[in-house]
Amino acid sequence: MPCTHDDAWLTVALETDSRVMAELGGPQTETYARDAHRRRVEGMKTGNWFFKLVPEPGATPVGTIVMWPSEWAGEPISEAGWMVLPDHQGKGFASAGLGLLIERAREDGRWGDIHAFPGATNGPSNALCRKFGFEQIETVDVDYGGRNLRCNHWVLRVG
């Protein structure tokens, strides 16, 4: 289900939480999170995907999953990322969301290979990449919101 401006609370809850952001350089400020949410919702107008993870119809969202055009080593790529609120981690919500995202991307046909950059020590997110057939390419330093992070670079060959 697509995120809207009304879901800013979810981005704030995710990105200001020290547990959620432990692998992403620590919590952001509420101002940063609200601005990031606005940019992501606006990015949907140009084709980016920004979905909320909802356990069942009508339930309160528990996380987000996104896909957007990005760049790596000077080349265009499609990048995916996900976050789940701490009380809902380990319950399969990110897995279900990633499965649907991959299925939708294959049907859509415009994304090509999908890249992900979970923190090098983020066991659950790296396990999701393995589960869905991503291949680990390298361990790299990436800039995430002005923060230098050590990440594993995974790619799922779609085409």
In a domain, residue 101? The reply is yes
Q: What is the pLDDT of residues 47-65, one digit of tens each?
A: 999 999 999 999 999 999 9
Question: What's the structural domain count of the chain?
Answer: 1
Instruction: Look at residue 28 and give its three-state secondary structure.
Output: coil
In a domain, residue 55? The reply is yes
- Give the span between the Cα atoms of 16 and 108, in whole angstroms: 33
In a domain, residue 10? The reply is yes
Range of the domain at 83: 5-113
The DSSP annotation for 52-103 comes to: EE-SSTTSPP-EEEEEEEEEETTEEEEEEEEEE-GGGTTSSHHHHHHHHHHH
- Percent of the chain past pLDDT 70, that is, above it, reads 99
Domain containing residue 91: CATH number? 3.40.630.30
In a domain, residue 108? The reply is yes
In a domain, residue 157? The reply is no
Q: What is the pLDDT of residues 34-51, one digit of tens each?
A: 999 999 999 999 999 999
Total-model pTM: 0.94
In a domain, residue 149? The reply is no
